[in-house]
Chains A and B, each alone.
Chain A
Amino acid sequence: MTVLTMARALNDALDVAMGKDSTVMLLGEDVGRTGGVFRITDGLLEKHGAERVVDTPVAESAIVGVGFGLAVGGMRPVTELQFMGFSYPAFDQVISHVGRIRNRSQHRFSAPMVIRIPYGGGIGAAEHHSESAEAIYAHTPGIKVVVPSTPYDAKGLLLAAIADPDPVVFCEPIRLYRSVKEEVPEGWYEVPIGPARLERAGRDLTLVTWGAMITEVRAAADTLESDGVSVEVVDLRSLVPFDADSVVRSVDKTGRVVIVHEAPRTVGFGAEVAATVAERCLYSLRAPVRRVTGWDSVFPLKRSESQYLPGTERILAAARQTLES
């Protein structure tokens, strides 16, 4: 075991995967010489060579579309798009081809590839650099969507994504890259794609979240616990497949749920969670379902970022309203 940040854990996962499977290759803008804009691929060019760690032209559609061809042709490409806000030129490839080829060809062809996308705000970046568009990908048939929130999960989920026979959009919370460290096993291990992670068990209230919001949710849960409220925190980790059973089990127990995400509210993935609770937990619910989310605004620039991002106070306010109803 070593203590690693999420950034190092992801780097380790890529290194381990490339060491184990010679068909794994990395493609993306600046992933080679500079080790990626977030240094996630740092040192891998030197270790695994320019044939397998490929600095590409600035062309997101081709990064994913050529990656698709490589995958159909027997490789296991891991593509990197520098920011979620720059993934949209590649979105056509994702929705029109990557998510469809298995169905279009009735299993004759498949595209086992990973599309890594750093996402989320809180770092005061320029326009387009802070977006959370995971719901757009989750709404796209034929791809899996994964969002780790811990270094351990980041490595295990990335290895599972690389081994997966189907394409995986792998969303990496930028804010968590270097803000937390934890023990991460050496070598290959997988965290299965699908099952949620029970961050903490409790009886009175369920907080459902994923990815970057885990920090704020943890802080809110700590405060509530110190007020004598027993809080259960469910970290989804995977949006497709979505572990509805874990959410339902938790809400059936607590009767109260607040869903927290950074993305805009309307048709955010929280709506899917809320609908699932409405469909399956109506008779357990003791309070209306609440959502604490980003607003339906363009992600604001640095000086107004705090207006947008759901903070601990907003989560606490929603939790208290829910507990009082």
Chain B
Amino acid sequence: MRQRLTPSGGLEGSPPFDLQLTRRLYRAMVFARTYDRKGMALQRQGRLATYAPFEGQEAAQIGAAAALEPNDWVVATYRDAALMWAQGYPWELLFAGRTGDERGGSPPEHVPVMPPSITVGGHMVHAVGLAWAEKLAESGRIALTSFGDGATSEGDFHEAMNFAAVYDIGCVFLCQNNGYAISLPRDRQTRSETIAEKAIGYGMPGVQVDGNDLFSVYETVREAADRARTGGGPTLVEAVTYRLGPHTTSDDPTRYRQDAENAEWLRRDPLERLRIYLSERDAWDEEWQAAIESEATSEIERAVELAEGMPPLGPGEILDSMFDNLPPHLERQRAELVESLR
């Protein structure tokens, strides 16, 4: 397993980027954690529908996004808000989706990010198609798709990996192996020793990295993205991480895992090791920490306000986006729907 930044903040080799960028990405991770904790809190208050937290996985997501170009596609899941945000998806739309509003799935025109996949695994083939379209257009853009360890058992994982490899599609497969698929531990998900080694069967490189190490994730995804962009085809990156929270707000993780395990992973927290790293280089102090936390809080609060301030879809609007032009039978249903709400 590749590791550059140890849990105690120690560095192996030279860093992949300077302190300024490291600080920027640390700040992004603080923003991500603030968003995530807010999401959990809002759900507990009944203001969001189900929420799927990613606390503990910030380095895997922020590190991967940092390795992409701004117009590269991201095709990710309900647990990937930090990754999607880092590629341009606005916080308020991520919240909006979780409040139960379809408009949360509609990022601005310039944002190359698909709405989050709620199905487990069905979206990976989409990334292969998008990357293929970009290859045909010779645009230089690639696609990164993110998924969990559970998704690697889905048939579409196999089909996506196989297609991408056969056609040398510029797609990066990022598996955030967070230890559990709801309750099922990783060792019951697959008998293969690592998820990365599954790549061998498809004829593509597979790399396992410490997913809580921003530097390793960044470097590995960067290599994979470069390979994809230069016609070298796909790569599977397994970022080994841990979901510190429940699967979703509907879940009780105490039924399937021990507190001791959680405590062990808290010790490997991705933010803390980066904080130590910065601090040891005089690039972190408590004042700055307080300042970025306060910025994060106000930005996230603003996003919540925007999301909650959106009026619900009007009567009949649920039908308006089924087709480009509403066919006659849906016109009739729409009229009936509107009438029923009078």
Q: A residues touching B (Cβ–Cβ < 8 Å)?
A: 25, 51, 54, 56-57, 59, 61-62, 65-75, 77, 89, 92-93, 96-97, 102-110, 141-142, 144, 165-166, 194, 240-242, 244-245
Q: A106-B102, A242-B329 are known contacts. Are A69 and B137 too (CB-CB below 8 A)? A: no
A249: min CB distance to chain B, Å: 13
Q: A69-B133, A73-B134 are known contacts. Are A93 and B122 too (CB-CB below 8 A)? A: yes
Q: Which residue of B lies closest to A112 (CB)?
A: B324
Contact present for B128 and A72 (CB under 8 Å): no
Contact present for A109 and B324 (CB under 8 Å): no
B30: min CB distance to chain A, Å: 29
* Cβ of B126 under 8 Å from chain A: yes
Q: A92-B122, A105-B106, A108-B106 are known contacts. Are A69 and B127 too (CB-CB below 8 A)? A: yes
Contact present for B106 and A68 (CB under 8 Å): no
Q: Which of A61, A73, A107, A142 contacts B130 (CB 8 A)?
A: A73
B282: min CB distance to chain A, Å: 44
Contact present for B130 and A56 (CB under 8 Å): no
Task: Note all chain B residues with C-beta closer than 8 A to A103.
Answer: 102, 318, 321-322
Contact present for A74 and B137 (CB under 8 Å): yes
Contact present for A66 and B105 (CB under 8 Å): no
Contact present for A72 and B328 (CB under 8 Å): no
Q: Which of A61, A71, A240 has the most CB of B within 10 A?
A: A61
Contact present for A66 and B102 (CB under 8 Å): no
Contact present for B102 and A241 (CB under 8 Å): no
Q: Which residue of A lies closest to B122 (CB)?
A: A96
* Cβ of B60 under 8 Å from chain A: no
Q: In the complex, A194 Cα to B325 Cα: how many Å?
A: 12
Q: In the complex, A245 Cα to B329 Cα: how many Å?
A: 10
* Cβ of B215 under 8 Å from chain A: no
Task: Note all chain A residues with C-beta closer than 8 A to B128.
Answer: 62, 65-66, 69
Contact present for B106 and A69 (CB under 8 Å): no
Task: Note all chain B residues with C-beta closer than 8 A to A54.
Answer: 167
B317: min CB distance to chain A, Å: 9
* Cβ of B27 under 8 Å from chain A: no
Q: Which residue of A lies closest to B129 (CB)?
A: A69
Q: Which residue of B lies closest to A72 (CB)?
A: B130
Contact present for B133 and A165 (CB under 8 Å): no
B104: min CB distance to chain A, Å: 9
Q: A66-B129, A242-B329 are known contacts. Are A102 and B162 too (CB-CB below 8 A)? A: no
Q: What are some 25 contacts across the A-B interface (CB < 8 A)? A: A54-B167, A62-B163, A65-B122, A65-B126, A69-B127, A69-B128, A70-B130, A72-B114, A73-B129, A73-B133, A89-B155, A92-B156, A93-B125, A97-B122, A97-B126, A102-B324, A103-B102, A104-B105, A105-B107, A106-B105, A107-B324, A108-B106, A108-B107, A165-B323, A241-B327
* Cβ of B132 under 8 Å from chain A: yes
Q: Which of B115, B137, B318 contacts A104 (CB 8 A)?
A: B115
Task: Note all chain B residues with C-beta closer than 8 A to A72.
Answer: 114, 126, 129-130, 133
Q: Which of B130, B134, B155, B328 contacts A241 (CB 8 A)?
A: B328
Contact present for B102 and A62 (CB under 8 Å): no
Contact present for B156 and A65 (CB under 8 Å): yes
Contact present for A74 and B133 (CB under 8 Å): yes
Task: Note all chain B residues with C-beta closer than 8 A to A51.
Answer: 136
A238: min CB distance to chain B, Å: 9
Q: Which of B75, B162, B322 has the most CB of A within 10 A?
A: B322
Contact present for B123 and A61 (CB under 8 Å): no
B180: min CB distance to chain A, Å: 23
Contact present for A61 and B102 (CB under 8 Å): no
Q: A61-B156, A93-B125, A103-B321 are known contacts. Are A66 and B132 too (CB-CB below 8 A)? A: yes
A248: min CB distance to chain B, Å: 12
* Cβ of B109 under 8 Å from chain A: yes
Q: Which residue of A lies closest to B159 (CB)?
A: A62
Contact present for B129 and A105 (CB under 8 Å): no
Task: Note all chain B residues with C-beta closer than 8 A to A57.
Answer: 159, 162-163, 166
Q: In the complex, A73 Cα to B112 Cα: how many Å?
A: 10
Q: In the complex, A65 Cα to B157 Cα: how many Å?
A: 11
Task: Note all chain B residues with C-beta closer than 8 A to A245.
Answer: 328
